[in-house]
Amino acid sequence: MEKPVALSTTKRKKFTIPVDKILPFLIPIIVILLWQVSSSLGWLSSSVLPSPIAVFQDGVKLTVSGELPKNLSISLYRATVGLLIGGGI
């Protein structure tokens, strides 16, 4: 008697997502989504913690007006001076 021969000899590769590699990206996304949902449902007051969309919109508005880059450069200057003074002591 002859043995049956398989027509397809290709092996299927099993698609697996490595959790340890994707977890560092998922955690911040989940936190931001929970933050947005909490703000949208009214669980978080906008005076205590504004929604991520509001923060992003204000960031864009301040960048376009030039106020954010100016204030960031001043803060970077102060931090650098503090580091130099602290490192020199």
Radius of gyration of the chain (CA): 27
Separation between Cα atoms, residue 59 and residue 47, nearest integer Å: 17
Average pLDDT over residues 34-43: 94
Query: What DSSP character marks residue 13?
Result: P
First to last CA, the chain: 90
The reported pTM is 0.64
For the cut 70, the answer to whether the pLDDT of residue 58 exceeds it is yes
Average pLDDT over residues 34-39: 95
pLDDT band at 40 (very low <50, low <70, confident <90, very high): very high
